[in-house]
Amino acid sequence: MNKTRKILLIVSGGIAAYKTLSLIRLLRENEFQVRVVMTKAAEQFVTPLSLASLSEDKVYTDLFSLTDEAEMGHIQLSRDADLLLVVPASADLMSKMANGMCNDLASTVLLATDKPVMIAPAMNVRMWHHPATQDNFAKLKSRDVKVIGPVEGVMACGEYGLGRMVEPEEILEVVKTHFEEVANSKQPLLIGRKVLVTSGPTHEPIDPVRYIANRSSGRQGHAIATALQKAGAEVTLVSGPTRLADPVGVKVIHVESACAMLDACQENGRFDVAVFAAAVADWRVKNAGAQKTKKENGKLPVLEFAENPDILKTVSNAGNDRPELVVGFAAETENVVEYASAKRIRKSCDWILANDVSPETGTFGGEKNSIHFIHSAGVESWEEMSKQAVAERLVEKVVAYFNG
Ligand code: C5P
């Protein structure tokens, strides 16, 4: 038995409940492990004993059963499954799910879960079309609950319309596709790809003890390095000073200044992809002191600046050494898309992830980011999301670029 294909089948009350008998048989024939939870109403349509016989397991019905809680609590029931499958999903159970109600075992398990949930609704056509059910349906879909059906047909009550449950064979196909997708998404898709990521701020020395810095936390760049590594890439992270731990499984080169960052980017081999997420200082102090500048009565130091190398631009124009895919960031406080699109051309990179860093957005140093993904064919504006989610979305783009 494949241990990673465990289904918690939640049976709610409806005439279609009898179809779960053949569904369990089909799932088990296809090597899924099935454990059943049923509502009180479901017991009117199909007996716990039949479901227990077919699943060859205990059937769970009671939220407050001491034996169940001792053997397997409701939290454990959902944690132990890879997928929660609600068949049939009655109007009542959909309503409870949509509204976070949990007054029986089935609804409690569904509220306690962090696993994918699929439902196969079955109800009278008028109940299905009622705005309350449609609102619940929309809510559940927006929370990534996968809804299978319903389909049109003759109902048990003799009426005709939408509300009939899809057949067990079709439910099986959807379940199989789901597990195939999960298996594929676990394939490391960037195996063999060498990737460079820059992250964090740079520190530009004024003298041996003082420096000029910026507020970059490095969170976005580090999240990108981590996500790329998880996708199977061989990642080199060139990081300015941050408070973050080195990502596991990533080669990390710690640098301080922009010049040292450029050297590290150039001295560590050739890359297939480079992502420049570092907030590199535009200028360095030209007359940085070799010794600590002393306070002299009334005399203020005067700093002279020199322009720092533009690492992104340099690597983008490195001829044969140019990575196939070069990605830059553009932090702007106004006209974000317009300025960033111009930057993509000016710096000769392939993609730019542009974000608004005006103080009210809290992006700099914060947890969230809201990105405009700019490429040669246009702009995609992403909804606000965590920096980790931005990293994952970018990795999806990189994977699509290399794997079509
Ligand atoms: O010009 P600007 O600093 O807005 O460009 C931002 C992009 O260029 C980022 O991807 C940043 O990592 C990169 N950059 C760089 N070297 C610099 C300045 C910016 O790599 N000196």
CA distance 160 to 153: 5
Which ligand 1 atom sits closest to the C-alpha of 281?
21
- State the pLDDT at residue 189: 82
Of 263, 312, 346, the one to substitute when testing ligand 1's pocket (max ligand atoms within 8 A of C-beta) is 312
CA distance 8 to 36: 6
List, in order of start, the domains of the chain with CATH numbers.
6-183 (3.40.50.1950), 194-403 (3.40.50.10300)
Distance 277 CA to ligand 1 centre (A): 8
* pLDDT (mean) for 179-191: 79
> For the chain, what percent of residues have pLDDT higher than 90?
81
Three-class secondary structure of residue 314 per DSSP = helix
Question: Phi and psi dihedrals of 154, rounded to 5?
Answer: -80, 135
Residue nearest to atom 21 of ligand 1 (CA): 310
Two tokens, residue 66 = 């001491």
Q: Strands, E, within 100-159: which ranges?
A: 117-121, 146-147, 151-154
Does the C-beta of 330 come closer than 6 Å to ligand 1?
A: yes
- Contact criterion met (CB below 8 Å) for 105 and 96: no
What pLDDT digit, counting tens, does each position of 216-246 carry?
A: 999 999 999 999 998 999 999 999 999 999 9
Q: What is the dihedral of CA 138, 163, 13, 46, to 10 degrees?
A: -140
Q: In the predicted model, is pLDDT for residue 70 greater than 70?
A: no
- Contact criterion met (CB below 8 Å) for 3 and 30: no
Of 28, 52, 48, 26, the C-alpha closest to 39 is: 48
Share the mean pLDDT of the chain: 92
Q: Strands, E, within 61-106: which ranges?
A: 83-89
Q: In the predicted model, is pLDDT for residue 72 greater than 50?
A: yes
Of 196, 255, 329, the one to substitute when testing ligand 1's pocket (max ligand atoms within 8 A of C-beta) is 329
- Residue 302: CB atoms within 10 Å: 6
Half-sphere exposure of 328 (CA within 13 A, CB side): 24
Lowest-pLDDT range of 179-193, 287-301, 386-400: 179-193
Q: Kindly list the distances between the CA atom of residue 81 and the CA atoms of 76, 104, 109, in Å, as whole numbers in the listed order.
A: 9, 19, 11
Q: In the predicted model, is pLDDT for residue 340 greater than 70?
A: yes
Does the C-beta of 216 come closer than 6 Å to ligand 1?
A: no
Which ligand 1 atom sits closest to the C-alpha of 277?
12
Does the C-beta of 280 come closer than 6 Å to ligand 1?
A: yes
Distance 234 CA to ligand 1 centre (A): 23
* pLDDT (mean) for 164-193: 88
Distance 275 CA to ligand 1 centre (A): 11
- Contact criterion met (CB below 8 Å) for 140 and 119: yes
What band does 71 get if pLDDT is binned at 50, 70 and 90?
A: low
Q: Kindly list the distances between the CA atom of residue 147 and the CA atoms of 116, 122, 137, 140, 151, in Å, as whole numbers in the listed order.
A: 11, 11, 8, 8, 11
CA distance 72 to 81: 12
What band does 323 get if pLDDT is binned at 50, 70 and 90?
A: very high
Residue nearest to atom 17 of ligand 1 (CA): 310
Q: Is-catalytic flag, 259?
A: no
- State the pLDDT at residue 186: 65
- State the pLDDT at residue 1: 40
Amino acid at 218: G
What pLDDT digit, counting tens, does each position of 355-365 carry?
A: 888 777 766 66
CA distance 227 to 180: 21
What pLDDT digit, counting tens, does each position of 257-299 carry?
A: 999 999 999 999 999 999 999 999 999 999 999 999 998 888 8
- State the pLDDT at residue 54: 96
Q: In the predicted model, is pLDDT for residue 2 greater than 50?
A: no
What pLDDT digit, counting tens, does each position of 136-163 carry?
A: 999 999 998 999 999 998 877 888 999 9
State the pTM of this model: 0.60
Distance 202 CA to ligand 1 centre (A): 11
- Helices 131-142 + 91-99 axis angle, to 10: 50
Q: Which long-range contacts (CB under 8 A, 24 or more apart) does 304-309 make?
A: 307/282, 307/283, 308/202, 308/204, 308/257, 308/258, 308/259, 308/280, 308/281, 308/282, 308/283, 308/284, 309/258, 309/259, 309/262
**Which residue is catalytic, options 157, 259, 265, 349?**
157
Does the C-beta of 352 come closer than 6 Å to ligand 1?
A: no
Residue nearest to atom 5 of ligand 1 (CA): 330
* pLDDT (mean) for 42-70: 86
- Pick from 9-13, 80-84, 155-159 the range whose average pLDDT is largest: 9-13
Of 273, 311, 356, the one to substitute when testing ligand 1's pocket (max ligand atoms within 8 A of C-beta) is 311
Of 201, 247, 202, the C-alpha closest to 224 is: 247
